[in-house]
Every structure is written in C-alpha cells, then in structure tokens.
Amino acid sequence: PRLVVVISGRGRNLQAIIQAIESGDLNAQIELVISNRSDAPGMQIARMAGLNCVCIEPKGFKRRDDFDRAMGARIAAARPDWVVLAGYMRILSSAFVQRFDGKLVNIHPSLLPRYKGLNTHERVLSNGDTRHGASVHFVTPDLDDGPLIRQASIAVADDDTPETLADRLMADVEQRLYPAALGDLIAGTVRFYDGVVWRDGQIQ
C-alpha cells in the first residue's frame, strides 16, 4: 500500500510511521511527504529517510481552493492508497476532502469527540480531566469530526504542564497509535462505509 504523508511541523508521527515500515511492523511504503512549510523540521526527517518530499507553500496562491487543488494534484500523482495527515496544521477545503474521500486520515491529540481544534493539552488540564489521549480518524469536511479508527489514552499526572502532557502523549500514545491505525486500515479490519466505521464486521 502506498502512503502520502502530509505534515507542517516536527514530524514525530512521520518518524514513527517510517520506523514502523523499516522494522517490518507496517506493510506500506511512503511515496511522498508533502509539507506546507519549507522550515518544517519533519522535512529533514523525510530527507534523511531518503523519501520523496515536496513543499508547497500557501503564499504562492490567492485562494485556499487553489492551494488545495495544487496540493491535491501532487498527492493524486503519487497514486496513494492512504493520505495520512500527520501534524498538518491547515484547515482543508471540502473539495480537497471529497477528492480523497475514504482514504484521508488524521491524528488528533485528544479523545475525540472531546476537544476538537487547538490547545487540547491546555484544555484537558484546565478542566481537571484525569485522562488524555489521541484519536486517529477519517477526515470529513468538518474539523476533527470524522469516524474514529483508533484511540488510546494515558493518565494525567498532578504535576503535568501542557508541555509534559503533550510530550508524553506523543511518545506513549501518538507514535504507537498512528502506525497501528494504519495497520488496521491496510489489513482491512476497518472500513469506511456510509459514514459508519466497521471493525471486524461490527458497527462501532
């Protein structure tokens, strides 16, 4: 199976996917890494791994739709089975989402449907939650709203700050969860069907 990974930042989820492929845990290949920022540290990770990478910056485009169409064309040319958003920090147009409908997935650092959007770690702490987590989900036109594929959680510690919580969530949850969720998708044990997630023949 062919993956295109779309990033904006540090690329720790990308790194985990690369490692899962290299270790044989994930049967896939990364055809292309796309970033909307030329200074994304994750691009260095992609280059070090010898992957094809391209940066498309929004400033060259007048409208969001034009940018998304250009990015969509690059992605489509790589003929992906799965388009993997890994820390991509722009909102996607619904035309883009529809173009890759059913093969577009994202990781979000919260136990969705709680805490859509930004600053999830801060909000978990300010609400006094005892657990925090991450979710891999199909992307639909509404932000952080699509059907869930996999979630996992950790305990919040009394002395956690947004930074310690975010770092622990990344290392203990996100970097394991994304390769595992992609494994589910590739194995066909999760299906996107009329907006319902099917796992092992059951509606979840």
Q: Which residues are the active-site residues?
A: 108
Residues 50-69 that bind ligand GRF (CB under 6 A): none
**Measuring CA to CA, which residue among 50, 105, 43 is closest to residue 80?**
105
Residue 114 in the binding site for ligand GRF (CB under 6 A)? no
Distance between CA atoms of 16 and 18, rounded to whole angstroms? 5
- In single-letter form, the type of residue at position 110 comes to S
Exposed/middle/buried for residue 107 (C-beta within 10 Å: 0-12, 13-18, 19+): buried
Select from 4-12, 49-57, 71-79, 137-145 the region that touches ligand GRF (CB under 6 A).
4-12
Neighbours of 155 (CB within 10 A): 10
57 touches 34 (CB < 8 A):
no
Is 52 labelled a binding residue? no
Q: Which of 17, 107, 177, 185 binds ligand GRF (CB under 6 A)?
A: 107
Is 79 labelled a binding residue? no
Is 13 labelled a binding residue? no
Of 11 and 80, which CB lies nearer to ligand GRF in the complex structure? 11
Token digits of residue 186:
């590739």
**x/- map, 124-163, ligand GRF, by CB under 6 A:** ----------x-----------------------------
Q: What is the dihedral of CA 64, 67, 71, 73, to 10 degrees?
A: 110
Of 136 and 197, which CB lies nearer to ligand GRF in the complex structure? 136
Of 145 and 198, which CB lies nearer to ligand GRF in the complex structure? 145
Distance between CA atoms of 197 and 156, rounded to whole angstroms? 28
**Which residues carry a binding-site annotation for (6R)-10-formyltetrahydrofolate?**
64, 89-92, 106
Task: Tell me which residues touch ligand GRF (CB under 6 A).
Answer: 7, 9-13, 42, 86-87, 107-109, 134, 170, 174
